[in-house]
Amino acid sequence: MKKRDYKRQQLKRLAFLLVSIILICFVSNHVFIRADLTADKRYTLSSATHDILSQLDDIVHVRIYLDGDLPVGFRRMKNAVREMLDEFRVVAGSRIQYEFIDPADIDDRAVRDDLHKQLYSKGLRPTNIEITERGGGRSQKLIFPGALLSYKGMEVPVNLLKNNPALQAEQNLNNSMQSLEYEFISSFHTMISPVTKKVAFLEGHGELDELLVAGISDAIARHYDIYRGRIDERDLRSLDDYHALIIAKPLRPFTETEKYIIDQYIMNGGRVMWFIDPVAIDLDSLTYQSEAVALINDLNLDDQLFRYGVRLNPNLVMDMHCLLIPLNIAMAGEQADFVPAPWYFSPLLSGNDSHPVTRGLNYVKAEFASVIDTVATDPSINREVLLRTSASTRVVNAPLMVNLEMARQQPDRRDYNMPHQPVAVLLEGEFTSVFTNRVISGIIGRSDPEFRESGERTNMLVVADGDIIRNDITVSDGIPEPLPLGYDRYSGQTFGNREFILNALNYLLDEAGLMELRTRELQLRLLDRERVREQLATWQLINLVLPLLMVIFFGLFYNWWRKKVFTS
């Protein structure tokens, strides 16, 4: 009887176990639960990401060119990309497909070089890394830390590496991994967006032509439709069809009617990016003559920008943290001998690391930049400084004489005592028209029944340097070709101008809240190398001896427990 009862009890247990397993499998197939136990929630996708992934109605094929023999940091980045795409697949399922490719894994050098050219022409930026070979030697390798996204015949490049020379390599890689969700999701949003937004470059006041803004135009064209045109003074709503307006380094004054049309465009929710030179001078002019005069550039915009919350000062900043230019040190009549010399009128601007537009941004190169003051004309307007000079800054007022001999002079550090001067400011809020309490018909020559004294909530960017958006030109076989925006031909470095302007434009036009993903922070947990060096023997002993002691302890405990149970 005892044996029969024992068997019956064991069968009940077995049946209960089988039913439990079947029930668990059934529930797990219908109820999906995931728990992110990390402190910084690195595996938790935002609500905006969920919304965009749920809108995918076709397969997105992602080709990531980050594979092969890579240093440890880039292997971590590769794993982070894979984990992020796997998180996307949790939401989008098989609509997200990806593969990792090593563009260097081609034996034929001509074919490999052709692939590199294709990737570069499609918008992926290469970088050189140093790898350790099996024999102990070191060699250079060109990699493309980016991806190409294909969706319904559309292809969008995604550059994954954020390279700020002011930061250590680990911090740059960590910043890159922090922005993975934003980089991918913003590209997904571009591909699935049913309406392509329109961005217009304003003309008619000596603004930069198409060749001089080709570097940023190519980047913008991957996300928005680009137009160029003048303001039609006969149509007071001639700008309303555009989602954003870019005013790139005007040289001639605006008429009151043009100002009115821009003002009412802003009142109706339009976004404007102002790249203004308060002082007129160009470095290229010093190439043909030894000196030039920096004069105040009156564009008839001071009252309008002051009403919106900023004042552009008629001065120039000189910064000890600046670009280098080639300077001829040879005597007259001798062969030219060029050496790099600091050009204090070309400051390298740093970004506001707490704002999504400039977070983790490389230095932005400027040329004859001025100082912006924020004015509290309207307390409801939020003003955020995005770019500023270094701690060693000097401000000189216009007009003044500028010559290349200034690069030869040893600066007096006591003169550079005006740190962190603002050069770019973001304005957000409901702006008040500059034409409020004024007789409109007496200004523009006719009445406007649709005039608005206050506007919808919108935002704008004001930069006191028109050259931030200008790319350099090179001539090949007599044909001028634009260089990448932010590229400095003398040092060979590429600065963050392109990323700054594109991030700012995305922020101005962001209606899905995607830019907030750039504020996401993943804590960089690095080993304390000094402590590791001091306690190396201790931790080696723990790792070797402690597991053996644990195995012996559990073996003795199990034998004691087994003996006790079966003896009783």
pLDDT 10s digits, 363-415:
999 999 999 999 987 788 999 999 999 999 999 998 998 988 788 888 888 99
Read off the amino acid at residue 230.
R
**Domains of the chain, first to last:** 47-191 (3.40.30), 197-279+296-312+355-388+420-519 (3.40.50)
CA dihedral sign, ordered 439, 444, 445, 449: negative
pLDDT (mean) for 184-206: 87
Q: How high is the pLDDT of residue 210? A: 93
Q: Is residue 202 very low, low, confident or very high in pLDDT (cuts 50, 70, 90)?
A: very high
Indicate whether 568 pLDDT > 70: no
Mean pLDDT of the chain: 86
Specify the pairing of strand 393-397 against strand 225-229.
unpaired
| pLDDT at residue 208, rounded to an integer | 94
Q: What is the pLDDT of residue 33?
A: 64
pLDDT band at residue 522, thresholds of 50, 70 and 90? low
Identify the pLDDT of residue 39: 66
Instruction: Specify the DSSP element, H or E, that contains 258.
Output: helix 256-267
Mean pLDDT in residue range 135-160? 83
Distance CA 5, CA 17 (A): 18
**pLDDT tens figures, 482-491:** 988 999 888 8
Which pLDDT belongs to residue 500? 95
Residue 37 has pLDDT above 70, yes or no: no
Q: How confident is the model at residue 516 (pLDDT cuts 50, 70, 90)?
A: confident
pLDDT at 297 over 90: yes
Q: Is the peptide bond before 399 cis (omega within 30 degrees of 0)?
A: yes
For 402-429, write each residue's pLDDT tens digit.
988 788 888 888 999 999 999 999 999 9
Written as six digits, the tokens of 326 are 């080639």
Token match 């049309």: residue? 261
pLDDT of residue 110: 87
Average pLDDT over residues 292-314: 94
Separation between Cα atoms, residue 210 and residue 225, nearest integer Å: 15
Ranges 102-111, 270-279, 282-291, 463-472: which has the least confidence? 282-291
What average pLDDT does the segment 48-55 reach?
87
Query: What is the pLDDT averaged over residues 297-323?
Result: 95
**Does residue 111 surpass a pLDDT of 70?**
yes
* More confident call, 455 vs 348: 348
Checking if the pLDDT of 299 tops 90, the result is: yes
pLDDT mean over 317-336: 79
Phi/psi for 42 (5° steps) reads -75, -15
Query: Can you read off the two tokens belonging to residue 429?
Result: 């809020």
CA–CA distance, 247 with 486 (Å, rounded to integer): 18
- CA distances to 157, 160, 375 from 151, in Å: 12, 19, 46
SS3 labels along 387-414: EECCCCEEEEECCEEEEHHHHCCCCCHH
Nearest to 448 by CA among 256, 201, 224: 256
| Confidence grade of residue 286 (pLDDT, cut at 50, 70, 90) | confident
Question: Does residue 526 register a pLDDT over 70?
Answer: no
What is the torsion angle, in degrees rounded to the nearest 10, for the CA atoms of residue 149, residue 155, residue 161 and residue 163?
A: -170
* pLDDT at residue 49, as a whole number: 86
Identify the pLDDT of residue 520: 66
Global pTM value? 0.78
Summarised one tens digit per residue, pLDDT across range 228-283 is: 989 998 899 999 999 999 999 999 999 999 999 999 999 999 999 999 999 998 87
Q: Read out DSSP for 308-343?
A: HTEEE-SEEEEESSEEEEEEE-SPTTSPP-EEEEEE
Distance, CA of 454 to CA of 100 (rounded, Å):
52
Q: Three-class SS of residue 66?
A: coil
pLDDT for res 100: 93
